[in-house]
């Protein structure tokens, strides 16, 4: 099926935020801290203001009428509430922290002005190491909080200590999941206009994945009711979680539009995107497994420390990484004794936010790398060991109380195993080694909570009520308009949601229009992230379209003088079952629905042909497995992915092409996390990955042709049995790749303790291994 | 957009049409196309010469418009994504991207289309490996490249089939 959105995007006629222009619009550039941690002594804008075309420079003082931006995190008592001013007032807390904004006639002039703003700094000691940040004598990142730790939490189930005491084998690893980010090709951007009518209102174009939540968060900071803020996000050039954050710039740009009396545009550059957006997955993990001699895993214990950066991000906070690494610890394994602790120390780096795969990625890395280690220690096959410990396919409640809605946990691993010809591979691996070539294979089965709604959020330790609504209208001519608060930034909602609506109403897909990305015209919704839109979109549309369908059926029944239960609505025509010539087109039904006067049923006289319904499903969990086959060049440390197979079970598939596209994109992202992407800071907190030469994306030459399989285990709880799919590949792929590299290098006995696994890092491990071996030989 | 500092008029032939606007010497071609001429189909993803989103054809050769100054292309033929579809009909390459799900958010797409056009001009029958090699200067964060490589493959195959047929 061809996507509805493609023709405009292919013809260069999308409307992305930088394509929007207002008459008289000015351009903004932010003055940002070059220091990790510094007090602002003074800001001198005189040289900037002397440039023709630079109209104003605003600092925190000029926008002191704004309320602070408050991060309260996931509505839990044990999470610190942190506030910040949208422009740093007295202290900058990371490289890239905004301290002033220049407004000028062109982006070039705004940047000229930015470079001329003279800030006098008083450098403060930076907090760079997350573990040191937890020490009582550490300097504080935010004095107001009185602590660096946004949240310490622990949870356990069963008797973990006893299981470790009784264990025949204990495996313990330390793993540092690297710092990466979303880095969509389109960065962030805001265009804002302030209208001095109706008490003052803001019109804002933003590259966001959650228009309504963005409005909800920024309106109080701007000091206006939500109804006086309109957020539009027509086309968004990729988001991957970056754009479900509320940023200081989202507030400052509307504020300076008001102050300057002109519309203002800000389009971030790539350095800003990498230095001052959100970072992700930087986590120091320890993982311990207790096992019996027969291979039964009896306990998991994890510690997850998220290097949280300088601010607790709004709305998800750093717990979006640490908490979810911990609470889903048992994953697809039948392990009843589980415990974790999490810490979220602030450091003088960019904030941690929700990026595709979030803390599931480090959690998955820690667990799956540890399981492979256990298998090696015991001399067991890693696939057999996993299968031996796996839960069954039926509905299952984990020790921490998540209830899985059924899945193909073992079947997915078996299919991934077969996809890489596992038995044959082991032979090939041996032969290759004789030729001095190092091949390896790794597996990574996973479970992922998807249709993020109230129940799944609560079960995941992020107890925020989540739901969504859709409004379906059959227009007077029989065409259909659907509005939703879910957003689309590549997922193809205009196609999938139209398809769902068309199926539900029995109309042609091209008669359905999906309206989203505009708080004025769409019903309230929580946005698109956390792989939730298939479940929430489908559920809310099925409910609202179902109500409209019922009305259409009753009208058709009365027009055709038949019983409603005998009416079939197919292809835009209502027919009486078994009487082919008794039919009425939808257009006529619709006209009657609007103008049929008192001949219509009461509820239709009252409600017309519009229905709005919400959906807040029970917990849904996708599952699957990635398998990687790699070759490592031991001379250069270069890893080549020979094959990457992924088995995905996202329940009932709405659109196979789009599901495959989501899985492939997510895997590419996972390859980047495993091998390439690293946001690096020097020991003094200086940021050194501000361009795409240092921060490497996977390109066509790093992502191989993928082997994609799917299994459909219908969800036991959601409408239509749908689960969700956006993040699976990102969660599964890195651990499969790391395990494959370790397997390839098993003759050297090396231990990989971090991502990304760069050639330099592997060479360093291989040199150390050589060194050890020589020592042994020498002894 | 406002400009200063010895602005000059720049005239180029964009998609076959002579267009002119005023540009500062430092104005990038990407900005000139997007904001000077209103051709917003060309996208900017990094301004560091890496992502390839801004790729256009200058006198038939793929070039990064974020690394080119507008004044450098005075008088040149520039082809952008807006010129690919004729009379509202997607070109064969565009249609192949659509059929093979070679785009998701569509932000990288204009750059990929330009590179694909240049590739098939240079090498009408590339292997998958050659396709991957040629497109390695364009990055896509959404698709994992599966649909993109398939799209280029099918566009090449279709051209081959139709030239054999004729
Ligand atoms: S914008 Fe020109 S290469 Fe990225
Ligand atoms: S389709 Fe989104 S970046 Fe390529």
Whichever domain contains A547, its CATH number is 3.30.365.10
**Which residue has better confidence, A425 or A599?**
A425
Distance from C-alpha of A639 to C-alpha of A759, rounded to nearest angstrom:
7
pLDDT at A779 > cutoff 50: no
pLDDT at B56 > cutoff 60: yes
Residues in chain B: 166
Asked casually if ipTM beats, i.e. exceeds, 0.90, the reply is: yes
Ligand 2 pocket list (CB less than 6 A): A 185, 238, 490; B 103-109, 140-143
Q: Which domain holds residue A572?
A: 467-614
Task: Specify the pLDDT at position A469.
Answer: 87
Task: Enumerate the domain spans of chain B.
Answer: 8-83, 92-165
Distance to chain B for A487, nearest Cα, Å: 12
Percent of chain A surpassing pLDDT 70: 98
Residue A622 lies in a domain: no
Task: Specify the pLDDT at position A151.
Answer: 97
Using the CB atoms, write b or e for B41-66: b if 16+ within 10 Å. Answer: bbbbbbbbebbbbbbbbbeeebbbbb
Confidence of residue A778 (pLDDT cuts 50, 70, 90): very low
Task: Specify the pLDDT at position A255.
Answer: 98
Residue A575 lies in a domain: yes
For testing the chain A interface, which of B52, B92, B146 should be mutated: the one with the most A CBs within 10 Å?
Answer: B146
Ligand closest to Cα of A489 equals 2
In this structure, which CATH number among 3.30.930.10, 3.40.50.300, 3.10.20.30, 3.90.1420.10 belongs to the domain B8-83? 3.10.20.30
A709 touches chain B (CB under 8 A): no
Distance from C-alpha of A327 to C-alpha of A330, rounded to nearest angstrom:
8
In this structure, which CATH number among 1.10.150.120, 1.10.1040.10, 3.20.20.60, 3.30.70.980 belongs to the domain B92-165? 1.10.150.120
Q: Hey, are the CB atoms on A106 and B2 less than 8 Å from each other?
A: yes
Distance to chain A for B12, nearest Cα, Å: 19
Among the partner-chain residues B4, B136, B138, the one whose CB lies closest to the CB of A52 is: B4
Confidence of residue A776 (pLDDT cuts 50, 70, 90): low
Ligand 1 pocket list (CB less than 6 A): B 44-47, 49-54, 64, 66
Tokens of A245: 């954050």
List of chain B residues whose C-beta atoms are within 8 Å of the C-beta of residue A641: none
Residue A44 lies in a domain: no
**Which residue has better confidence, A372 or A651?**
A372
Confidence of residue A256 (pLDDT cuts 50, 70, 90): very high
Distance from C-alpha of A375 to C-alpha of A389, rounded to nearest angstrom:
12
Least confident of A169-173, A286-290, A557-561, A775-779: A775-779
Nearest by Cα to A523 from A560, A484, A569: A484
Q: Which segments within A129-228 are labelled E, that is strand?
A: 149-157, 169-177, 189-195, 201-206
What is the number of structural domains in chain A? 1
Residue A597 lies in a domain: yes
Nearest by Cα to A486 from A504, A506, A503, A466: A466
State the maximum Cα–Cα separation within chain A, in Å, rounded to a whole number.
Answer: 100
Closest residue to atom 3 of ligand 1, CA basis? B49
Tokens of A473: 């209208």
Question: β-pairing, A82-84 with A149-157?
Answer: unpaired
- Residue range A55-113, pLDDT digits in tens: 999 999 999 999 999 998 888 899 999 999 999 999 999 999 999 999 999 999 999 99
Distance from C-alpha of A60 to C-alpha of A761, rounded to nearest angstrom:
43
Chain B, 3 to 22: residues with Cβ < 8 Å from chain A are: 3-4
Ligand closest to Cα of B138 equals 1
Closest ligand 1 atom to Cα of B44: 1
pLDDT at B166 > cutoff 70: no
- Residue range A460-502, pLDDT digits in tens: 888 887 778 899 999 999 999 999 888 878 778 889 899 999 9
Distance from C-alpha of A695 to C-alpha of A350, rounded to nearest angstrom:
15
| Sheet containing strand A610-615, strands side by side | A512-515, A480-484, A468-474, A610-615
Confidence of residue A198 (pLDDT cuts 50, 70, 90): confident
Residues in chain A: 779
- Residue range A505-530, pLDDT digits in tens: 999 999 999 998 899 988 887 766 65
A160 burial via Cβ count (<10 Å: 0-12, 13-18, 19+) = buried
Ligand closest to Cα of B43 equals 1
Residue A133 lies in a domain: no
Residue A401 lies in a domain: no
Mean pLDDT within A380-409: 97
Mean pLDDT within A606-622: 91
Tokens of B149: 């490589």
- Residue range A532-578, pLDDT digits in tens: 766 777 888 999 999 999 999 999 999 999 999 999 999 999 999 99
Nearest by Cα to B147 from B106, B111, B105, B99: B99
Residue A654 lies in a domain: no
- Residue range B80-121, pLDDT digits in tens: 999 999 988 999 999 999 999 999 999 999 999 999 999 999
Mean residue pLDDT of chain A comes to: 94
Task: Specify the pLDDT at position B18.
Answer: 98
Residue that has been written with the tokens 């096992």 in this structure: A291
- Residue range A105-141, pLDDT digits in tens: 999 999 999 999 999 999 999 999 999 999 999 999 9
A181 burial via Cβ count (<10 Å: 0-12, 13-18, 19+) = buried
Task: Specify the pLDDT at position A708.
Answer: 96
């Amino acid at each position: 099926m061809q996507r509805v959105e493609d023709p405009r995007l292919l013809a260069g006629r999308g409307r992305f935020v930088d394509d929007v222009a207002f008459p008289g619009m000015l351009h903004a550039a932010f003055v940002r801290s070059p220091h990790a941690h510094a007090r602002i002594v003074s800001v001198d804008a005189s040289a900037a203001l002397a440039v023709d075309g630079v109209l104003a420079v605003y600092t925190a003082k000029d926008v002191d009428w704004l309320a602070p931006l408050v991060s309260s995190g996931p509505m839990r008592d044990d999470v610190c509430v942190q506030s910040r001013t949208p422009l740093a007032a007295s202290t900058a807390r990371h490289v890239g922290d905004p301290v002033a904004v220049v407004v000028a006639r062109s982006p070039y002039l705004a940047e000229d002005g930015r470079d001329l703003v003279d800030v006098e700094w008083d450098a403060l000691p930076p907090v760079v190491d997350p573990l040191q940040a937890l020490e009582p004598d550490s300097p504080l990142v935010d004095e107001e909080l009185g602590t660096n730790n946004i949240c310490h939490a622990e949870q356990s189930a069963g008797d973990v200590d006893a299981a470790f005491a009784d264990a025949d084998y204990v495996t313990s690893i330390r793993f540092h999941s690297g710092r990466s980010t979303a880095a969509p090709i389109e960065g962030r951007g805001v265009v804002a206009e302030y209208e001095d009518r109706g008490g003052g209102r803001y019109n804002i174009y933003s590259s966001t994945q959650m228009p309504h939540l963005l409005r909800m968060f920024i309106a109080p900071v701007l000091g206006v009711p939500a109804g006086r803020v309109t957020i539009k996000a027509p086309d968004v050039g990729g988001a991957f979680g970056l754009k479900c954050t509320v940023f200081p710039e989202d507030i400052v740009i509307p504020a300076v539009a008001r102050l300057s009396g002109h519309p203002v545009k800000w389009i971030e550059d790539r350095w800003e995107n990498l230095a001052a957006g959100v970072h992700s997955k930087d986590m120091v993990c320890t993982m311990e497994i207790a096992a019996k001699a027969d291979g039964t895993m009896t306990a998991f214990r994890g510690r997850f420390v998220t290097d949280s950066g300088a601010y607790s991000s709004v709305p998800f906070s750093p717990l979006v990484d640490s908490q979810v690494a911990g609470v889903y610890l048992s994953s697809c394994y039948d392990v009843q004794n589980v415990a974790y602790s999490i810490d979220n120390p602030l450091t003088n780096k960019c904030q941690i936010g929700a990026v595709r795969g979030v803390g599931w990625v480090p959690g998955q890395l820690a667990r799956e790398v540890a399981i492979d280690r256990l298998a090696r220690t015991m001399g067991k096959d890693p696939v057999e060991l996993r299968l031996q410990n796996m839960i069954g396919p039926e509905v299952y409640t984990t020790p921490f109380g998540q209830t899985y809605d059924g899945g193909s946990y073992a079947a997915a691993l078996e299919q991934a195993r077969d996809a890489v010809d596992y038995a044959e591979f082991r032979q090939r691996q041996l032969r290759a080694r004789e030729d001095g070539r190092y091949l390896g294979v790794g597996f990574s089965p996973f479970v992922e909570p998807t249709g993020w709604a109230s129940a799944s959020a609560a079960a995941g330790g992020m107890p925020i009520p989540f739901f969504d609504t859709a409004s379906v209208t059959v227009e007077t001519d029989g065409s259909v308009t659907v509005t939703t608060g879910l957003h689309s930034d590549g997922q193809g909602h205009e196609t999938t949601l139209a398809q769902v609506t068309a199926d539900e109403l029995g109309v042609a897909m091209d008669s359905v229009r999906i309206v989203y990305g505009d708080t004025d015209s769409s019903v309230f919704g929580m946005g698109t992230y956390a792989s939730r839109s298939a479940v929430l979109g489908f559920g809310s549309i099925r409910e609202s379209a179902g109500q409209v369908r019922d009305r259409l059926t009753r009208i058709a029944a009365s027009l055709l003088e038949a019983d409603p239960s005998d009416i079939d609505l197919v292809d835009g025509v209502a027919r009486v079952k078994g009487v082919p010539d008794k039919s009425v087109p939808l257009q006529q039904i619709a006209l009657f629905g609007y103008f049929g006067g008192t001949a219509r049923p009461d509820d239709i006289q009252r409600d017309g042909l519009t229905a709005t319904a919400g959906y807040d499903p029970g917990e849904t969990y996708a599952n699957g497995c990635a398998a990687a086959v790699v070759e490592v060049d031991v001379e250069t440390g270069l890893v080549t992915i020979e094959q990457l197979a992924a088995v995905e079970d996202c329940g009932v598939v709405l659109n196979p092409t789009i599901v495959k596209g989501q899985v492939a994109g997510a895997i590419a992202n996972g390859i980047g996390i495993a091998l390439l992407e690293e946001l690096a800071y020097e020991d003094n907190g200086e940021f050194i990955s501000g361009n795409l030469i240092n921060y490497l994306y996977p390109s066509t030459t790093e992502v191989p042709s993928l082997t994609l399989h799917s299994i459909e285990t219908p969800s036991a709880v959601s409408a239509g049995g749908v689960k969700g799919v956006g993040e699976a590949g990102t969660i599964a792929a890195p651990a499969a790749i790391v395990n494959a590299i370790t397997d390839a290098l098993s003759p050297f006995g090396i231990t990989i303790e971090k991502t990304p696994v760069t050639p330099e890092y592997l060479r360093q491990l291989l040199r150390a291994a050589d060194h050890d071996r020589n020592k042994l030989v020498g002894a | 957009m406002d400009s200063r500092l010895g602005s000059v008029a720049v005239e180029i032939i964009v998609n076959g049409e002579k267009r002119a606007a005023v540009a500062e010497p430092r104005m990038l071609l990407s900005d000139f196309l997007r904001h000077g001429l209103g051709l917003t189909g060309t996208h900017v993803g990094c301004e560091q010469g890496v992502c390839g989103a801004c790729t256009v054809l200058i006198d038939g050769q793929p070039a990064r418009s974020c690394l080119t100054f507008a004044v450098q292309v005075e008088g040149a033929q520039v082809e952008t994504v807006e010129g690919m579809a004729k009379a509202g009909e997607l070109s064969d390459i565009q249609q192949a991207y659509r059929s093979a799900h070679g785009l998701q958010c569509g932000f990288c797409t204009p750059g990929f289309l330009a590179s694909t056009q240049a590739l098939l001009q240079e090498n009408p029958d590339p292997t998958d490996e050659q396709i991957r090699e040629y497109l390695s200067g364009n990055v896509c964060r959404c698709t994992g490249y599966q649909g993109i490589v398939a799209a280029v493959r099918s566009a090449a195959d279709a051209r081959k089939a139709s030239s054999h047929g004729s």
